[in-house]
Structure 1
Amino acid sequence: MHYVYEETNSLDDRCYTTFGLTPEILMEHAGLALAHAVKKKLTCKKSALFVCGMGNNGADGIVAARLLHGAYNVSLYLPFKIKSELAKLQLERAKKVGVIVVDELIDADIYVDALFGAGLNRPLDDLTCKLLETLNAKQGYKIACDIPSGILSDLTLSSVIFQANETVTMGALKLALLNDNVKDAIGDIKVANLGISRNQYETPSSLFLLHKSDLRLPFRIKKNANKGTFGHVAIVQGSKEGAARLAGMGAFHFGAGLVTLIGEKPKKLPIYLMNSETLPKNANVIVAGMGLEMPFDEVALKTLLLSNTLPLVIDASLSQHPLLCEIIASQKPLVLTPHPKEFSSILELTCKEKVSVEAIQANRFAYAKRFSLAFPHVVLVLKGANTIIAHNGELFINTYGTPALAKGGSGDVMSGMIGALIAQGYTPKDAAISGSLAHALVSRKFTCNNFALTPIDICKGLKWL
C-alpha cells in the first residue's frame, strides 16, 4: 500500500528545508515526468497542446513543452496572464528555445491540462468552465498535470471537470484523486518523482491506497488440518433467504471450513451449506443483516448476537435498526459493511447526525474517519466506486472495484467473505481489507460483458485469484 495525502505542500517544504532542494528543482522534475507521459503518446506525426495556467502548475506544463520541443510538435496555450514568478521564468526559457505560443485553442492529438493543479481553492468562473467544456469535447488523448482542473483542494467540485485519460500527480498521491465522484475524470494515475525517491519525499500518513499485493488469500499451509481448522461461519437468515444464501456461498468459497445458515430451513440450499435454528456451539463469527426484512424478532436476534463473545459482521437492514447502537455499545469486535444510504442511517443512529447520501458522497473520507475515531473498535467498510475501510482514524482505499459489481447480492457475498476470513483467524481489519480486495479483483478478472456478472460468478471467481 502507498501513503495518500490531503495536501502535499508540506512535503514540498520539507524538501526545501531538509534536503536543500529548490522549487525550481522540483518543478524541473515535475515537467520531466509530464513530458515523459506525453512522449509515450506522441509520434513525429502527432501534436500536443499544453493548456497552462497562471501559477506553478502552468509552469510545470511549460517546462514539459520546452523539454519536448525540437523532437516533437508541441505548443503552448495560455488563456490567463501569467502571475507566478517561476512561471514567467519558465515561459521566457520556453520562448528562447522556440516553443510556439498560440493565441487560441487549436486542435491537437494530445491535450495537457496544466491550469490549476492541487492548489485550486475556488469554484471556476464561467470562462474557465467553457474552456474545460471545449477541451472535454475534443477527440484527443487528455493528460492532467497533478489534478484535473475543476477538483478543488477541499475535495469539492466545480460544475465542470477536465476529463483526463491519465493524471500525472506530483510527488505523492492526493486524496482528491480518490473520491467516488471523480473516478470517471482522473483516468490512470501516475506519481511523478520530484528529485528524490518517493520514500524520502513522503512522511507517514493515516491514509493508504491499497494495492493488489496487499491481498492476503487464506491459503491452507498447515497440512495436519480438518474442516474445524478453518473456522465456522454462522449467518443469520432473514425473510429474504437468498441474501443469506449468497453470503454463505461467499464464506464457503473463501475458505471457511463450515458455514451454517441460522433460521428456518430454506427450500433450496447448496449441499455444502448447513442449516440450524440455533447458533452452532463451535461458531467463530456471526454474519447478520442481509435479507433481514422488518419487522423481525428483535429480542431473539439481540440474544443471538450479544449473548456471546463472537465477532460480528453487520450488513444491510441492521445498519438501519436501533439494535445497532446496542451492538456497538457491547464493544464486541465488529465489521460494518454499509453502502452510502445505509451509512447515512448509521450516522443518524449512532452520532445523532442527519447526513444526506449526497453529502456523504461529496466527502466520504471525512465522514468515514470521524466515525472510525468515535468508535475505534469498529471496522467500517464503506462501499462505493472506491471502497473505504476505516479503523481508528486510518483509512484504506480500495480503487479496484468495477461497475460490474453494482448488482443486488454482490455486497452479501462480500460480507460472507469477510466473515470467512475472521473465522480463519484474520483480525477484523485485515479481513475487511483482504475481503474487499478479493471481491473487487474478481470483478476485474471477469472476461465476459461487465453487465452480466452475478454474485455467484464472484464466488466462482475466487478460485482463480
Structure 2
Amino acid sequence: MQYVHEETNSLDERCYKNFDLTPEILMEHAGLALARAVKKKLTCKKSALFVCGMGNNGADGIVAARLLYGAYTVSIYLPFELKSELAKLQLKRAKKVGVSVLNELIDADIYVDALFGVGLNRPLDELTCKLLKTLNAKQGYKIACDIPSGILNDLTLSSVIFQANETVTMGALKLGLLNDTVKDAIGDIKVANLGIARSQYETPSSNFLLRKSDLKLPIRIKKNTNKGTFGHVAIVQGSKEGAARLAGMGAFHFGAGLVTLIGEKPKKLPIYLMHSETLPKNANVIVAGMGLEMPFDEPALKTLLLANNLPLVIDASLSHHPLITEIIASQKPVVLTPHPKEFSAILELTCKEKISVEMIQQNRFKHAKHFSLAFPHVVLVLKGANTIIAHNGELFINTYGTPSLAKGGSGDVMSGMIGALLAQGYTPKDAAISASLAHALVSRTFTCNNFALTPMDICKGLKWL
C-alpha cells in the first residue's frame, strides 16, 4: 500500500522545518523529475513546450525547461504575468541559459501543463479554459506537472481539464488524482522525490492506494483438510435467480468449500452449487441483495439475516430497502457493496442525508469516509472506476479496474468472492480488499477486446491469479 494525501503543503513545511530544506531545493528536484519525464519522450528532432502558470507550479516547469535546454529543443509559454518570486527567479535563470520565452502558443511534440498545482481554489476563467481546450486538441504527448490543471483542491472540477497522458506528481500521491471523475485525464501517475526519499517526505495517512502485492489469495497451505475447512457460503436467491447464481459461482471459484443458494429451487444450477429452502446449519456467511426484486417476504428475510451471528455481504436491492437500517443497527459484521446510486439510497436511509449520485461522484472519498466513521463496524465497498474500500475512517483505493467490468453481473460475482473469503476466515476489511483486487486484476489478464468480458470469464480468470 502507498499513502495518499489530501494535501501536501504541510509535508513541504515539514521538510523546511525538520530537514533544513528550502522551497528552492524542493523546486529544483521537482523540475528535475519533470525534465526526466519529458526527456523520455524527446529526441533531437522533437520539441517540448512548457506552458507555465504564475505560481510555483509554473516555476517547476521553468526549471525543467532550463535543465533540458541545450540538449533538446524546448521553449516556455507564459500566458500570465508571473506572481511568485521564485518563478520570477527561475525565469531569469532560464533566460540567461538561452531558453526561448514565447508570448503565443506554438505547435510541439510534447506539451507540459505547469499552469496550476494542487492549490487551485477557484474555477478557471474563460481565457484559461480556452487555452486548455486548445492544448487538449493538440496531437502531441501531454504531461501534467503535479496535477492536471482544472482539478480544484476540493476535488471539484472546472469545465475543462488538461487531458494528460502522464502526470508527474510532486512528493506524494494526492487524493485529487484518484477520484473517478478524473480517471480519463491523469494518464499514468509517477511520484517525484523532492530532495529526500519519499518515505522521509511523507507522514502517515488514513488513505491508501492498493497495490498488486496487497492481494492475499486464499492459497491452501494445510494438507489435512476437507471441504468444511474452507467455509460454507449461503446466498439468498431473489426472483432474478441469475444474480445469485453468479454470486455463487464467484464464491466457489474463490475458494469456498461449499456454496448454497437459499430460496425456491432454481430452474438451472451449476452442478457444484447446492440449493436449500432454509439456512444451512453449517453456513459461515450470508450474501444477500442481488436479484432480490421487491416486493419480497420481508419478515422471512429479516429472520434469515438477523436471527444469527453470521457476517453479511449486502448488495443491490437491499440498499434501497429500510431493512438496511436494521442490518447496520444489529452491529453484525457487514460488508456493503453498493454502486453510487445504491450508496445514495443507503445514505438517505441510514444517515437521513439526501445526497445525489452527482454529489457522491464529485467527492467519493468524503462521503465514503463520513459513512465509515458513522458505522465503524461496517466495511463499505463503493464500486466505481476506482473502487473505494472504507472502514472506520480509513480509505483503501483500488485503481486496477477496467471498463471491461462495466457489465451486469460483475458486481454479483465480486459479492460472492467477498463472501468466500469471509467463509475462509478473512476479516471483513481484508476480504473486501483482496476480493476487490482479484476482481479488478482478473479483468487485466484477458488479452481479448475490452467489451466482451462476461461475469463467467471473471470466475474462470480467478484460476490464473
TM-score range (shorter-chain normalised) is over 0.9
Secondary structure of 1:10's match?
A: helix
1:319 and 2:319 correspond: yes
In structure 2, what is the equivalent of residue 79 of structure 1? 79
Secondary structure of 1:389's match?
A: strand
Secondary structure of 1:461's match?
A: helix
In structure 2, what is the equivalent of residue 268 of structure 1? 268
Residue identity in the other structure for 2:196: I
- Trace 1:355-434 onto structure 2 (pairs within 5 A): 355-434=355-434
Question: C-alpha distance in 2, partners of 1:440/1:389?
Answer: 13
CA-CA distance at 1:447 after TM superposition: 1.1
- Trace 1:24-423 onto structure 2 (pairs within 5 A): 24-423=24-423
Provide TM-score, normalisation by structure 1: 1.00
Question: C-alpha distance in 1, partners of 2:201/2:281?
Answer: 52
Question: C-alpha distance in 1, partners of 2:323/2:77?
Answer: 60
Q: Deviations over 1:368-400 (max 9, x none)?
A: 000000000000000000000000000000001
Structure 2: segments with no counterpart, 5+ residues: none
Secondary structure of 2:420's match?
A: helix
CA-CA distance at 1:463 after TM superposition: 0.6
In structure 1, what is the equivalent of residue 449 of structure 2? 449
Number of aligned positions between the proteins: 465
Question: C-alpha distance in 2, partners of 1:141/1:378?
Answer: 44
Question: C-alpha distance in 1, partners of 2:66/2:59?
Answer: 11
CA-CA distance at 1:9 after TM superposition: 0.1
Question: C-alpha distance in 2, partners of 1:420/1:394?
Answer: 23
Question: C-alpha distance in 1, partners of 2:424/2:322?
Answer: 30
CA-based RMSD of the aligned residues comes to: 0.4
Q: Deviations over 1:305-356 (max 9, x none)?
A: 0010000000000011001111101000000000000000000000011111
Question: C-alpha distance in 2, partners of 1:241/1:209?
Answer: 35
Secondary structure of 1:167's match?
A: strand
Secondary structure of 1:191's match?
A: strand
Residue identity in the other structure for 1:26: L
- Percent sequence identity over matched residues? 89
Secondary structure of 1:41's match?
A: coil
Secondary structure of 2:118's match?
A: helix
Question: C-alpha distance in 2, partners of 1:167/1:240?
Answer: 44
Provide TM-score, normalisation by structure 2: 1.00
CA-CA distance at 1:446 after TM superposition: 1.3
CA-CA distance at 1:449 after TM superposition: 1.0
Q: Deviations over 1:152-200 (max 9, x none)?
A: 0010000000000000000000000000000000000000000000000
Residue identity in the other structure for 1:229: T
1:13 and 2:13 correspond: yes
Q: Deviations over 1:53-92 (max 9, x none)?
A: 0000000000000000000000000000011000000000
Structure 1: segments with no counterpart, 5+ residues: none
Residue identity in the other structure for 2:223: K
Residue identity in the other structure for 1:424: Q
Question: C-alpha distance in 1, partners of 2:105/2:146?
Answer: 21
CA-CA distance at 1:103 after TM superposition: 1.5
Question: C-alpha distance in 2, partners of 1:393/1:103?
Answer: 48
CA-CA distance at 1:265 after TM superposition: 1.2
Secondary structure of 2:436's match?
A: helix
Residue identity in the other structure for 2:287: V
CA-CA distance at 1:280 after TM superposition: 0.6
